[in-house]
Amino acid sequence: MADLKENIAEHIESGRLKTDELILHMGPQHPSTHGVLRLELVLDGEIVVKVIPHLGYLHRCFEKHAEAMTYPQVIPYTDRLDYLASMNNNHGYVLAVERMLGIELPERVEYIRVIMAELQRIASHLVAVGTYGLDIGAFTPFLYLFRDREYILDIFEKTCGARLLYNYFWVGGLSHDVHTGFEKEVGDFVKYFRPTLTEVNTLLNYNKIFVQRTANVGVLPADVAISYGCSGPMLRGSGVDFDLRRDDPYSIYDRFDWKVIVGDGEVGTLGDCWDRNMVRMKEMAVSCDIIEQALASFPEGDVTTALPKRIRPPKGAEQYARVENPRGELGFYVVSDGTANPFRVKCRAPGFVNLSVIDEISQGHLISDLVAILGSIDIVLGEIDR
């Protein structure tokens, strides 16, 4: 045995001992992968050399299903894309169809849509930040954030009867008006929720261990983010000042005064995991600002007057509509052949594009850092696989 050790030591010193790269599969059942995703890792010891995502475990044929459904029947399928942001998914799809038909919406519909979309953004970011803390090893903030998410889900349930998949935004309006006391409940939630953000910053985001695990890890330079087509907090976390709600306005977002949040490298390098997480934290406060302004000028009216009795866009009509969902630019390209069913519905999923950059920002990091990097991307496999 002693001779063997001496022989190995001699080979190491002389550089004649060569090691092979190890291929390790993370997932598809790994608890830190945020869904059914398999990452094929090429490792040199514990150092990541390459990351190859393998998708398709949650593929449900959304785009093919849409061809066999009428335009209104597609809406519940959009719910199930990014199931943490169903309201935003509804919004993007119905916007495309409404533009094809030239429908002008009542004011009340627009206000309710914006309020619901921003409540959904908060609910989504609460899951993102809470589960991200869980990935790093912080359990308590997860409970605080999921507690507050329940208030939003209760409002949604009172409004449309569902907690996760809503089918609430319809082509030309809404399935029905908001419930009695809606404005007060939403206003009370916003006032109650703001202190939670300060509390979680203290508990999690500025916690020494959390900072050490996320600062200077998974740095995504702005030019790389733009080259890959990243969007949402993934792009803004790299310091790129771009938000569709302001830069390609839809609905009535241009009526409100609010600020686009970008990363600033506060505790590490600009574009690291910490910046992406902090962008989501600050965006929740911005959503509260937008909601309060919408409530202050909330109009009366009917939400069903513009609902069309027959939805058949002209043959050859096509439209691309994009919205700023919690994970970035969600786009729907809809083509009509003149029948009651769309000829083609193409979904541009922000999570799919954002995930493509994981190899670029993971190389040279440890396996434990890869868990932090993946969590900071905030993926939902329902929209990635579709």
Give residue 57's pLDDT band: very low, low, confident or very high (50, 70, 90): confident
Helices marked H in 43-181 — which ranges?
A: 62-67, 71-79, 86-101, 107-136, 140-160
Q: What is the DSSP letter of 251?
A: T
Give me the domains of the chain, ranges plus CATH numbers: 2-51 (no CATH), 59-385 (1.10.645.10)
Distance CA 355, CA 72 (A): 30
Report pLDDT digits (tens) over 62-109. 999 999 999 999 999 999 898 899 999 999 999 999 999 989 999 999
The residue with tokens 């308590």 is: 140
Distance CA 122, CA 110 (A): 19
Q: Is 301 left (phi over 0), alpha (psi -120 to 50) or beta?
A: left
pLDDT of residue 353: 92
pLDDT of residue 274: 94
Residues 6 or more apart in contact with residue 6 via CB below 8 angstroms: none
Q: What is the DSSP letter of 203?
A: I
Report pLDDT digits (tens) over 294-351. 999 988 888 888 888 888 999 989 999 999 999 999 999 999 998 999 999 999 999 9
Report pLDDT digits (tens) over 170-183. 998 898 899 888 99
Distance CA 238, CA 219 (A): 8
8 A C-beta contact, residue 62 and residue 347: yes
Q: Is 216 left (phi over 0), alpha (psi -120 to 50) or beta?
A: left
pLDDT of residue 306: 85
Closest by CA position to 193, among listed 127, 139, 147, 130: 147
Q: What Å distances lie between residue 201 and 88, 144, 206, 279, 288, CA to CA?
A: 26, 12, 6, 12, 17
pLDDT of residue 293: 94
The pTM assigned to this predicted structure is 0.90
pLDDT of residue 5: 54
